[in-house]
Amino acid sequence: MAHIMQNYFDDIVRSTVDILKFDSSLKMAEGENGEYPFGKETADCLQFFLSLAESFGFETHNYDNYIGEVVYGNGEDFAVLAHLDVVPAGSGWKYPPFGGVINDDISDTGVEGRKIWGRGTLDDKTPAIVCLYALKALKDEGFIPHRKIKLIVGCNEECGWACIDHYNQVAKMPREGFTPDADFPVIYAEKGIYHFTLSIPVNDAPFSALKAGERVNMVCDLAETLLTKQAGAKLVDYENPVNGTSFSYDNTTNILRVRGKSAHGSTPHRGANALEALLLFLGSFHDDCKKAYDILFADALGLKQLQDETGALTMSPNIASFSGGVLKISTDIRFPATLDLKVITDKLDTLGLVYETDSYKAPLYNDPNGALISTLTNIYNAATGKNETPCAIGGGTYARALECGCGFGPYIPNTGDDVAHQPNEFITFDRIKLLSEIYYNAIKEISKPKYTRIGWVKVKR
């Protein structure tokens, strides 16, 4: 039997294309006046979403262009936490990153089927739109939820979570919920996130300027440096061994550009780090540069050996700058959920170098057999015919903002379409249809009177 959400499919696609056209990446310069804390286009994107919800007859709230919510039902609050902001588009796009192009192109991806292309298709605009239409479908059929469903859409998830901080000041965050911004089947644990900047003195530097990366949580896809003539000459016989990266050198300006492939900072193996290739080259003839490479890429401290049931530590150095003889490199670390941060900082302390903590998010850990995790797992398995079990990830999601929260899609591991934070981000029509069924069923099941919160445990912070 066809699922009820098929009746809304064309509208979901149309609304997705419309919302993709907003470049809702962080633009601080525009937000300095306070009216648009993350830029006017991000605020416009939020208003588009809330206006769409209002047209469906829902109660909405815009909290000062930081974050908004759509409210449906009565009873104990339940959160569906999504976000409308995106990381910068970056380079290497085949189709306009904010165009919402639709076609059947399988080149480069190998993924068959009709697709929508654009920044935010997977992370996280399409899932947000699908969840909104799931609420509309429930409302249209006369379903009365025994929970107050709050579809909360933030505008600063990718860089700082100021949206969540603001929400907690002006509204009340539900205790329980999920975020459609992770992997299926269900994420019961998330690694800790630690961002730090390491300062490495470079004596007699083989360059006078160096710049790499855009965001600490994006694998560096472009690194540029102004080499000395002596350093530039060494490129003649140098063979770059870092797969997926390429060198371009201008003999006239002595500028070396290294290009790579972006990916989410929690999955550095899916990208190709341009900074890694650059430091490996510089380190082939300069000791201080080799030291930087050894610490941050060759893992001289053994940080990547740390692991538990939630996986091994990952380390992704993604931003670099050079000034006053000091090379500063900002790194994204995702560490096992049962590990204490002090284990990492103790190792960094042994370097004898200056480092600064830029941000820290404690790990999340929920009972994999609790009611929320079990219910969502069963819904996913019923929709897909699989028999999956809850898992852990390195990504950091809004689930951490809840007392009992978890990640719930939209990614399905090993399907070839986990392209968040990468160029040519896309979502297939088939995935939209699956998400529509799953999120509709999840919200409906959790809103029934029989749902109880058996098996809650306090989130480890």
| pLDDT, position 139 | 98
Residues 154 and 168 in one domain: yes
Per-residue pLDDT, averaged over 431-441, amounts to: 98
Q: Verify that 289 and 314 share a domain, yes or no.
A: yes
Which is more confident, 27 or 58?
Answer: 58
Write out pLDDT tens, residues 187-246.
999 999 999 999 999 999 999 999 999 999 999 999 999 999 999 999 999 999 999 999
Among 307, 328, 361, residue at a domain's last position: 361
* Cα-to-chain-centroid distance, residue 214: 14
CATH number at residue 54: 3.40.630.10
> pLDDT tens across 251-263, in order?
999 999 999 999 9
| pLDDT bracket for residue 427 (50, 70, 90) | very high
> How far separated are the first and last CA of the chain, in Å rounded?
44
CB-based burial label for 92 (10 Å; 0-12, 13-18, 19+): middle
* Per-residue DSSP letter, 99: S
Average pLDDT over residues 269-276: 96
Pick 422 or 452 by higher pLDDT: 422
Model pTM? 0.77
Q: What is the pLDDT of residue 31?
A: 55
For the chain, how big is the Rg over CA atoms in Å? 23
pLDDT band at 293; cut points 50, 70, 90:
very high
Domain boundary among 361, 383, 412: 361
**Domain-ending residue, one of 361, 377, 412:** 361
- Whether 288 contacts 325, CB under 8 Å: no
pLDDT at 218 (0 to 100) = 92
1: confidence class by pLDDT, cuts 50, 70, 90: very low
**Residue 457 covered by a domain:** no
Nearest CA to 245 among 217, 216, 208, 219?
A: 219
140-157 pLDDT, tens digit per residue, is 999 999 999 999 999 999
Position 32 confidence tier, pLDDT thresholds 50, 70, 90: low
Place 449 in a pLDDT band, splitting at 50, 70 and 90: confident
The answer to whether residue 454 is domain-embedded is: no
Residue 389 has pLDDT above 50, yes or no: yes
- Give me 266's structure tokens: 């929690």
Looking at the fold, whether 416 and 314 belong to one and the same domain comes out as: no
Tally of domains in the chain: 2
Distance CA 274, CA 145 (A): 50
Q: What is the rounded average pLDDT for all residues in the chain?
A: 94
Residue with tokens 């809840």: 402
Indicate if the pLDDT at residue 408 is higher than 50: yes
**In the prediction, which pLDDT does 309 show?**
84
What is the domain range of residue 105?
Answer: 4-191+364-446
Instruction: Tell me how far CA of residue 144 lies from CA of 148, 177, 225, 376, in angstroms.
Output: 10, 18, 60, 20
Partners of 62 in the beta sheet? 68
Partners of 101 in beta bridges = 117
Examine the domain organization and report whether 187 and 198 are in the same domain.
no
User: In the prediction, which pLDDT does 455 show?
Assistant: 47
Do 415 and 288 sit in the same domain of this protein? no
The dihedrals phi and psi of 143, each to the nearest 5 degrees, come to -70, 130
Instruction: Using the structure block, give the residue that is written with the tokens 């109880």.
Output: 452
29: pLDDT confidence band, cut at 50, 70 and 90?
A: low
Do residues 143 and 248 share a domain?
no
- pLDDT of 54-110, one tens digit each? 999 999 999 999 999 999 999 999 999 999 999 999 889 999 999 999 999 998 888
